[in-house]
Structure 1
């Protein structure tokens, strides 16, 4: 039995499942300083949010170093991901309430998948550190599995196809404008996880609801409505 006709829940990872931005920022900042990027002035978290959040390494690389050959970009990002993995292992944590939401979904027979612009090894590492690997039937890593990363809908459409789920019976959780646009373009309702300062941008990108974290009362009120709709639908079936 699924909830309110729901079949699946799809999660972005960075910033949506876990608080990873500080570790990405630290890795990028250190490497860019060694290269003398921005005249050696460290990049700010705001720079990272504006130009890196939610984007694939290929997209970030083309922005940072438009003239670099691919082999040099590959070496840069190999170093960056190695640094990120080391720092994440020291303190990566989930967005508050995530494990409870995964348990809620699993108890109702919903399929869970992670859909990310991050490389697969990076994605698997983060989910493993969070201790949530057993909840997820699938990881779609756009960098490895798709021709077009978010904001293209391709990563989400691929996840829906592999899970055998309908966009009308699926929820997407995202934290970036890039990701929200991808989910909306795939025809899936998107719930955004973000602080108040970013709410207007995410609503403008098409988010149906913006929550602070997975303990947010607004989220559980919406999920309670789905539970009620499911119970009513099942009652009608039993009496038909």
Structure 2
């Protein structure tokens, strides 16, 4: 099983939006919600800073990421859990299914959220974070790395993502069985990008009903 983290297992978009706002305020720019969703959400901050035009062009992207990570870690207590997320991971663990989490966030954030917020770190076999790949989502590199570490073919995996860039990454990796979790993007947007099914949350019964019905 392949899982995104932010927006898929945890409700953390508000925290990440505040981190980005800290960055925007530093550079004195305004980014509206539509532009934010299109160019920033679900992507590695370092990729965005290097690729999106702005007054930060040529600045030290990694230094900015370190500052944003510090802001995020200070707000981790505000992160909620997607309903059913913990139960779903535990169910798959009981069934002997190996699990990988592939996130655009850094290692410190991923480990903290998996261990402290969700309490499921021991059930996750592989974590691929922002620093483990050369290119972040929508590049398929993270998911291909996870599949290689799990020793499975992408086509044989069930995957869960909440963002357009994440779904695009899965499709690019060759994953077909994609469940779009409609916490940060509408169902239609996720299916348009390649999600086979969509769910509003991760309650195991809901997920099973949707997946088994197709």
- Given that residues 92 and 130 in structure 1 are in contact (C-alpha distance below 8 angstroms), is that contact kept between their aligned partners in structure 2? no
TM-score by length of 2: 0.89
Task: Give the alignment partner of residue 15 of structure 1, picking from 7, 14, 30.
Answer: 7
Q: Which position in structure 2 is the counterpart of 1:150?
A: 137
Q: Determine the C-alpha separation between the residues in 1 that align with 2:111 and 2:118.
A: 10
Structure with max Cα Rg: 1
The aligned counterpart of 1:84 is 72
Question: Is the CA contact (8 Å cut-off) linking 2:7 and 2:183 kept in structure 1?
Answer: no
Correspondence 1:168 to 2:160: no
Q: Which segments of 5 or more consecutive residues in structure 2 lack a partner in the other structure?
A: none
Superposed displacement of residue 60, structure 1? 1.8
Q: 1:150 to 1:35 in 2, by over 3 A?
A: closer
Pick the aligned partner of 1:114 from 88, 91, 101: 101
Tell me how far apart the structure 1 counterparts of residues 159 and 34 of structure 2 sit (CA, whole Å).
Answer: 25
Matched, 1:54 2:42: yes
Whether the 8 Å contact between 1:25 and 1:45 is mirrored in structure 2 is: no
Structure 1 Cα separation of the partners of residues 17 and 213 of structure 2: 38
| Residue of structure 1 equivalent to 2:87 | 100
Using the alignment, how far apart are the partners of 2:119 and 2:32 within structure 1? 30
CA deviation map 1:6-28 (0-9, x unaligned) = xxx11011111100110111122
- Tell me the distance in 2 between the aligned counterparts of 1:222 and 1:104: 16
Higher helix proportion (structure 1 or 2): 1
Residues 1:85 and 1:45: Cα distance change in structure 2 (over 3 Å): farther
Partner of 2:54: 65
Structure 2 CA distance, aligned partners of 1:47 and 1:24? 15
Residue 13 and residue 195 in structure 1: after superposition, are their counterparts in 2 closer, same or farther (change >3 A)?
closer
Question: d(CA) in 2 for partners of 1:210 and 1:93?
Answer: 20
What TM-score do you get using the length of structure 1 for normalisation? 0.80
SS across alignment from 1:54: coil
Over 3 Å counting, the alpha-carbon distance change for 1:169 and 1:28 in structure 2 is same
Verify the 8 A CA contact 1:148 1:154 in the aligned structure 2: yes
What is the aligned partner in structure 1 of residue 197 from structure 2?
A: 209
Of the structure 1 ranges 118-127 and 190-199, higher mean CA displacement relative to structure 2 is found in 190-199
User: Aligned partners of 2:172, 2:112: CA distance in 1, in Å?
Assistant: 28
C-alpha change, 1:23 and 1:195, in structure 2 (3 Å) is closer
Alignment RMSD (CA, Å): 2.3
Question: Within 2, Cα distance between the matches of 1:117 and 1:23?
Answer: 14
Kept in 1: contact 2:162–2:184 (CA 8 A)? no
CA contact (8 A) 2:49 2:56 kept: no
